[in-house]
Amino acid sequence: MRIAELLARGRTFSFEFFPPKTDEAQAQLANTITELAPLKPSFFSVTYGAGGSTRTRTRDVVVELARSGVVPPMAHLTCVGHTRDDINLLLGEYKAAGVENILALGGDLPSDPSLAGPSDFHHALDLVEHLREHFDMSIGVAAHPEVHPRSPSRESDRYHLAEKLRRADFAMTQFFFEVQHYERLRDELAALGVHKPIVPGIMPVTNKGQIVKMAQMSGAAIPQWLSDRLAPLEDAADVRRVGVEVATTLGADLLAAGAPGLHFYTLNRSTATREIYANLGLGG
């Protein structure tokens, strides 16, 4: 099932994973998928490492999900380190497996830029246009409610996002913690004449150090009120409890604001996501 079609039918609720690097991590992911599948998500999303570093592992997870036929997968795909032949080969494999959804991203260079292969695409828009011309798939793009960290200005960020969305079917956002960031993003795109679905991403806080690092990388701000709530907490269970409460409130606010769905960054664990789902009365 194509995500564009799912969004046209109503709200979507989806979960994101990253490809495992070890047998232990593979077992953990399999367990997480087993625990989340009963919630009847609209689709699963599988990330792609910097410079295409997880190309094979991402493909393997996506193809396995597609062939299981339980939940449609969306494969992340980046520009960095890919030629047109690379993309065409990978998309041919996806087509053969029945994969119909791609999230087209600019992508990041690996920590050692010399490890990145040649690239025929410079921006996500280039990749979107190539996919649109050569492959019959549902195409999503990424959005940063608080502006992409590499954008020179808010105006530039919104202009380029609007150009991507004019050609794509939908956008998925990076995580954030306050509903007004989503509302402003939606309104700014509407002012540019773009009204495609924008699915907000939710990242429940389960580790204080980890969320600070991830926020810095993505350009998301951790609000002072959230920092104040987390600061005195030492026990991991208490951190997760507050993280679930905050994410539940944000999810409810987003749905009340008319968001076309919710996308959960699971970090390959199911507990927090299942708790938020139950709190919101979803999946039942």
Residues with catalytic annotation? 16
Q: Tally DSSP H helices, then E strands, for the chain.
A: 11, 8
Q: How far is CA 165 from CA 125, 220, 263, 280, in A?
A: 9, 21, 18, 29
Distance between CA atoms of 261 and 256, rounded to whole angstroms? 11
Long-range CB contacts for residues 250-259, cutoff 8 Å, separation at least 24? 250/177, 250/178, 250/179, 250/202, 251/202, 251/276, 251/280, 252/280, 253/179, 254/179, 254/182, 254/200, 254/202, 255/11, 255/280, 257/179, 257/182, 257/183, 259/11, 259/182, 259/198, 259/199, 259/200
Helix (H) or strand (E) holding 226: helix 224-230
First vs last C-alpha separation in the chain: 21
